[in-house]
Every structure is written in C-alpha cells, then in structure tokens.
C-alpha cells in the first residue's frame, strides 16, 4: 500500500510541471531532416475523348482510352555558399514530348555574385509562360495551347538582379528554343521583369527574340508574354497568361505566329481539395481560333494528388473528329490523373 501511495505521489508530482503551466499541445516527433535536396514526381493518367479518338492537339496526356504514363522526374538541387546547381532528369512520354536529345529538363549552375545579383548558366526550363512541363508544377493536368506553342526550355546564360523583394530583372543570351546545342550560335535574347505590386500578386513581363530553325529553314521568332498570378484571398487565386508570338522566315515577308489569353481562377475548399477552371482563347495568325474550357478538381493526400478533369475545346473551323470520324468544331474529354510528388 505504501509503495502504491508512493507511486501515485510520484505520478502527481511528475505531471505537476505541466499542470502548473498553461494548456499545452503535444507534438509527437516522427522524423528528422536530411541533406541534399532530392525531389521529383511520377505521374500516370487515363484519358477518354468522347469522340473515341485522340483529338485535342495540346501537349501531353494524349493517349486515348488508355491508362498511360506521364514521366518519372528526378530533381537534384544543392546550394553551398554562393554556388548552386540543379539537375533534373526525366523518363517517359511526357519527357519525350518536351525535350530533344537527352532526358534532361534542367541542368544548370548558378553563382550569387552578391545578395542581389546572380549568374546562371546551363539548360533551364523556360522563363516564358504560365504552365510548366512537370505535372507537379501545374494545377491542370492537360496543357494549354499557349504552353504547347511556346518554348519549353532555354539553354543559355542569364543574370538576375533583384532591386528589392518586389522588383527583379533577368537578362540572358540563349540558344534557339529547346535545344541543348545551338547550330547557328547563341542568338536569342531574353528578358524578364518581375514586379509584385502587392503581397501575393506576381507579375512577369517576358520577351524572347532571336533566330529559329523551322524544319531546316532559318527564320526568327519573337514572343512577348505576360504571366501573372494573384492570391486574392486565402482560398481564391486568379492566374493569367497572355502571349503574342511573331515568326518570320529569312528572305520572306510572310509572318506566322499566334496570340492567346488564358485565365486560371482557382478556389481552394481546404488544404486538400480545390476546384479550378482554365479558360483559353488562342488564335493562329491568319488561322484557327480556339476556345478551351478545362475544369479541374485536384484532391491531395500527402504527396499524392488525384486530378479529375473535364475539358471542352471549340474551334471556328472544323478541326476535331467526331464519333463518325467526320470533322467537327468541338471536342471534349475526361481525364483522371495521379501525380505523386516527393
């Protein structure tokens, strides 16, 4: 009995320090942090176009009525002092449709000359546009016409200067779009002005201009791009992308190109479920005009995101196929993707 009383007393005394303090929240430890940054993603999808045929001509996720692969993407990143590198390799159909030659999405080194000025050289994801190649970086799983027809990567050397947290400028010399080796020399000039008018609102004004190889014919392309996103409330976000590209063949007065506008309103119900729409209007110069509506409902469970998506595209010319393989002015599809980001 004495022992029991002693044990009881010990228990009471041992919990007293907590009781004497305020109310507390206990947080149980689960794991500790590591070193070199390794991240990436894998993705897979099922797509069904209601015509029964592959129809919508934007990048990735095209295979009809099939459980298909996106890509496995692996990113290594390290910063030591003022120097840093990023190496991103990927394998799969999404990789093959986005890079040429090697399985590399990013491969560059960077050095911070000062707190405000850094130099970067190598092969980098493009600074132009709203959407990116990695499915983990996009809200929608399918991609826009603007993304599909803009640059994917820009290899080159660039200088970034941050005037403040709100204003920054990038200027660089680049290879032709998407190539790791420029056969006609480094000939593209690119620039990006970043402005944050208020906290949560980011505006990027981009331009890239220079020579391009059009299936063996030399020409040039200039693309102007505005990409912006504003977290208007904790739950509501609005993104916008506008771009205009003009291409010319050497020794020709003919111009080609496109103009497009995409809006990305998104509403987060909580930290796991959100609903977003992408509306896009895209026009080829002297060509077809498209309107595209994409409704996406990503559901996150830790690193895994399920992405159900419905998409309806219309065109002012009959460019899509219907069930009878006849040309028609619209196409619709359902898609279910799973993206695991680590």
Q: Footprint of other proteins on this chain (CB under 8 A)?
A: 6, 10, 13-15, 17-18, 21-39, 75, 77, 86-88, 105-106, 108, 124-127, 132, 134, 136-137, 196, 199-202, 229-231, 234, 237, 270-273, 299-303, 341-342
**Cβ 342 to other proteins shortest distance, Å:** 5
Cβ-based nearer residue to other proteins, 132 or 159: 132
- For residue 105, CA distances in Å to 22, 74, 134, 143, 321 come to 52, 9, 9, 17, 33
Least distance (Å) from other proteins to the CB of residue 300? 6
CB 260 within 8 A of CB 280: yes
Nearer to other proteins, 100 or 334 (CB): 100
**For residues 38 and 167, which CB has a smaller minimum distance to other proteins in the complex?**
38
Cβ proximity to other proteins, 47 vs 158, nearer residue: 158
Distance, CA of 179 to CA of 119 (rounded, Å): 20
- Cβ atoms < 10 Å from Cβ of 108: 19
CB of 106 to other proteins, least distance (A): 4
Could you tell me the smallest distance in angstroms from the CB atom of residue 214 to other proteins?
Answer: 25
Residue showing tokens 């820009």: 154
Task: Tell me whether residue 68 or residue 98 sits nearer to other proteins (CB atom).
Answer: 98
Q: Pull the structure tokens for residue 287.
A: 């060509």
In the complex, the smallest distance separating the C-beta of residue 323 from other proteins, rounded to whole angstroms, is: 38
Tell me the residue ranges of DSSP E strands in 62-128.
Answer: 66-80, 83-91, 104-112, 117-125
140 neighbors 56 (Cβ within 8 angstroms): no
The nearest distance, CB 331 to other proteins, in angstroms, is: 28
d(CA 140, CA 143): 7
Nearest to 241 by CA among 259, 224, 257, 227: 227
CB of 15 or CB of 183, closer to other proteins: 15
């Amino acid at each position: 009995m004495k022992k029991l009383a002693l044990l009881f007393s010990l228990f009471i005394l041992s919990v007293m320090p907590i009781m004497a303090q305020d109310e507390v929240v206990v947080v149980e430890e689960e794991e500790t942090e590591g070193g070199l940054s390794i991240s990436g993603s894998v993705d897979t999808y099922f797509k069904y176009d209601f015509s029964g045929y592959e129809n919508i001509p934007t990048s990735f996720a095209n295979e009809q009525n099939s459980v298909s692969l996106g890509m496995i993407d692996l990113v290594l990143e390290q910063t030591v002092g003022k120097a840093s590198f990023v190496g991103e390799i990927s394998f799969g159909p999404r990789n093959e449709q986005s890079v040429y030659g090697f399985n590399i999405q990013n491969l560059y080194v960077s050095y911070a000359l000062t707190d405000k000025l850094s130099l970067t050289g190598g092969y980098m994801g493009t600074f132009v546009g709203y959407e990116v190649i990695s499915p983990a970086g996009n809200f929608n799983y399918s991609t826009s016409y603007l993304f599909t027809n803009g640059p994917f990567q820009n290899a080159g050397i660039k200088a970034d200067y941050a005037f403040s947290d709100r204003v920054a400028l990038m200027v660089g010399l680049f290879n032709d779009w998407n190539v790791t080796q420029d056969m006609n020399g480094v000939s593209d000039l690119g620039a990006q002005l970043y402005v944050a008018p208020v906290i949560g609102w980011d505006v990027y004004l981009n331009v890239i201009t220079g020579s391009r190889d059009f299936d063996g014919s030399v020409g040039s392309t200039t693309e102007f791009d505005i990409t912006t996103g504003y977290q208007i409330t904790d739950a509501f976000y609005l993104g916008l992308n506008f771009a205009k590209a003009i291409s010319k063949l050497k020794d020709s007065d003919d111009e080609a190109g496109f103009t497009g506008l995409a809006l990305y309103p998104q509403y987060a119900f909580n930290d796991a479920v959100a609903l977003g729409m992408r509306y896009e209007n895209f026009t080829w110069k002297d060509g077809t005009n498209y309107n595209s509506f994409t409704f996406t409902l990503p559901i996150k469970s830790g690193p895994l995101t399920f992405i159900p998506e419905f998409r309806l595209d219309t065109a002012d010319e009959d460019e899509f196929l219907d069930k009878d393989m006849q040309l028609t002015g619209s196409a619709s599809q359902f898609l279910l993707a799973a993206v695991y980001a680590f």
